[in-house]
Chains A and B, each alone.
Chain A
Amino acid sequence: MSYNTLKVFLISIFLFYFFGGVFTSNKLNGEVYPFYHWFVFRDVPSKIQAGYAIRILEYEGKPLNPPIFLKNAYGLYVNTNMASPQYSYIVRVLGENIVRKQQEEIKRHREILERSFLSQSVTYEVVKIEFDTLDRWGTEEWIKMERIIIFNTRDKVL
């Protein structure tokens, strides 16, 4: 391969990767393997954000009053082998699919959640919460909470 041919080839790779990456930014998960857009931390989070969370309502048949957020239940109900960012990702995707009524995706992510984090027999709810980004950190404060579904780990995943 001559120098100029090699130069054109390498520049083509750059262009291919750049436009491939930009193209993937519109895809679900922002990825068409092995290209990536690298648009990380692109948008500044709003001051008021909405998200999803899991609250445990019953543990081994005993109701919890008040219910406990799953992320506060380490050592009690949680399989600690999975890292927290994966938990946040799975809960977010589960919540989004519940809202969109995507039954197959709900089933899939519920399986992952229960297999990974809910090793005990619990009744839990998925809630949509609204919170102030700056206030929530370290305080768990929320502005609005709305239950969107209740699951029981004893029930067969539908």
Chain B
Amino acid sequence: MRSKIHHLINFLNQYTRFPVIEKRFEEDHSFRNAKAVVPFFYYFIFFIAVLKLLELRHFPLRGNFTPRWPIFWANYVDLQIVLTIVLVFFAFASLVAAFFYYRRAGRVIAFLGIFQYHALLSSFGSPHHQMDLWLWVAFLLIFLPNIWNEKNKSLEEQKKFSLVFWSAQAFVLLTYSMSGIGKILGAITQYFNGEVHIFALNAAALHVTSQLNAMQSTTLLGPLITKYPLFGWFPLVAIIYLQFFAFLIAFRPSLHRIWALGLVFFHVGTFLAMDAEFFHAIPLLLILFFNSPFGRLNPSWRQIALDLPIFGWIFASIFKRSKKNYLFEIKDVI
């Protein structure tokens, strides 16, 4: 049984290339970059919290108020008081973390503030997921080791710091992969049911018009996609590729920046096409990936090409080299 687990771990290590990313955890500049980026997560959370204080004037009530379990105490308090407490606490907690990001207690308080606000948003009947990623990243960052002071830094603590930061990146990408997996499963089900599936040429047009019918709105790209369905088909296939393989990209630092850029385009594009807004994810992609501690600012295009899912495998076999050997031969351009 142990040897089977050992084989499984070896297979996963080889397939995901986790040892490659773990080598980056040992690098001093990865740790320093991660350390530099973390405060910006809390600065931006505070900015969001301050903007949410505007909702004290008018909170968008979307249905019956049924408190989720994290705000169980709201069952005993008037709704207006609940809103005031949650919004003010959210702002206060995120300000504490913005100032004391280097203290675990500060990060815990920030998480509690986000958790209360997130639970409030989700307590009006229909689910509300705009803040999901921020909530879980705030939870993961609690586990950053206390080595902001360089004197406390050992290699193991440095690796732990990079690992936690990386786990925040990986979690965000995991959610995109879950979305991609759902789409692929949906395509398989619909194909075998004889229904229109996501790889059909008019799939994008159907998605767009169905959404716009439900939203009772129009968009910049909606009419174009409806009239010329192929115009939406190519981006849709690209979105499925970006989402499905997103979690794998966590293990391929050369692709962190480009993949995040693609996901930003995805969010902006779905708004311009379908009026489906999920902009809260964009700052998180910028903060965690645009200056990924584990990537290089100018990775070689060959490295990027070989790291691409599917295409990388094709390129590797065309050039008749194993990807594993190639990764340890190439020198990144700094």
Contacts and interface: CB of A to CB of B under 8 A. Distances in A.
Interface of A: 1-3, 6-7, 9-10, 13-14, 17-18, 21-22, 25, 29-31, 33-34, 36-47, 49, 71, 81-86, 88-90, 108, 111-112, 116, 133-134, 136-138
Interface stretch (B88-96, B160-168, B309-317, B326-334): B160-168
Contacts of A82: 60-62
Interface string B185-212: 1100110000111101011011101101
12 contacts: A10-B140, A25-B182, A34-B132, A38-B182, A41-B276, A43-B195, A44-B190, A44-B195, A44-B197, A133-B206, A133-B209, A138-B218
A125 B241 CA distance: 44
Given A10-B164, A17-B171, A33-B68, A84 B215 contact: yes
Contacts of A18: 174, 178
A94 to B, nearest CB: 12
Contacts of B181: 39
Interface of B: 58, 60-64, 68-70, 118-119, 122, 125-127, 129, 132, 135-136, 140, 143, 156, 159-160, 163-164, 167, 170-171, 174-176, 178-179, 181-183, 185-186, 189-190, 195-198, 200, 202-203, 205-207, 209-210, 212-218, 222, 226, 276
B226 A134 contact: yes
Contact of B156 (A3, A29, A34): A3
A44 B185 contact: no
Contacts of A2: 156
